[in-house]
Structure 1
């Protein structure tokens, strides 16, 4: 079965994913509480596993990521589950780190929440 994503949902998911890379939203406690699902976890680009609790408690820090997110694509896995993929480019102390990214988002009665995220390093 093939599912289609509305332009409104596409815009919302794009904004939410990019908000994860903006300091003003990414480190806002209300944003984090609303956007990370209770069972969220991440396989980081570093290979570490991050739980929701650890992600929500991270202190604010500068984020130097390229926005809009390069090669962003969204597909519906079912009517209420979307996968967002893109490449990240982040400047960390003058060194550009590249990652292939994948996030799983679920539509809830309170809007879209991120359930899972994975980053894999690559060199262009």
Structure 2
């Protein structure tokens, strides 16, 4: 089983859109992108539900794009696991994380079902 090139490109673009303020805080885009049962385990350890994500206040995101170590594995025909490393600056602090997302493809296109962020301590960068 392999994903078509168009799906690979679309998944990378969708994942990177979540790190751009103009799309991340576009309610219509996010409503279409997040699956009805979406949830996230954040870097902080908190659990976020779809409504938390949709209701997040807009802010500037200082993320390094393209995403580093970006990889996609097909779990089954219409389910993909996306993994990468994030680098985001908050004030004077740069935070690194390992990220994983589960995307599923339906008649509406690719939708994000699950996301997890895990901090990477400076000593293992």
When the two structures are superposed, what TM-score results if normalisation uses the length of structure 2?
0.96
**Secondary structure, in 3 states, of the residue corresponding to 1:72?**
strand
Shift of 1:94: 1.1
- Map of 2:92 onto structure 1: 94
* Separation of aligned partners in 1, 2:16 and 2:22: 11
* Separation of aligned partners in 1, 2:8 and 2:73: 9
* Separation of aligned partners in 1, 2:27 and 2:106: 19
Shift of 1:118: 0.2
Q: Determine which of 3, 6, 20 is the counterpart of 2:4.
A: 6
Unaligned ranges ≥5, structure 2 = none
When the two structures are superposed, what TM-score results if normalisation uses the length of structure 1?
0.97
**Secondary structure, in 3 states, of the residue corresponding to 2:68?**
coil
Matching of residues 1-124 of structure 1 within 5 Å: 3-123=1-121, 124=125
CA RMSD of aligned residues (A): 0.5
* Separation of aligned partners in 2, 1:73 and 1:50: 24
* Separation of aligned partners in 1, 2:55 and 2:30: 9
Unaligned ranges ≥5, structure 1 = none
* Separation of aligned partners in 2, 1:94 and 1:63: 13
* Displacement over 3 Å in runs of 4+: none
* Separation of aligned partners in 2, 1:80 and 1:96: 35
1:78-103 CA distance string (max 9 Å, x none): 00000100000000011000100000
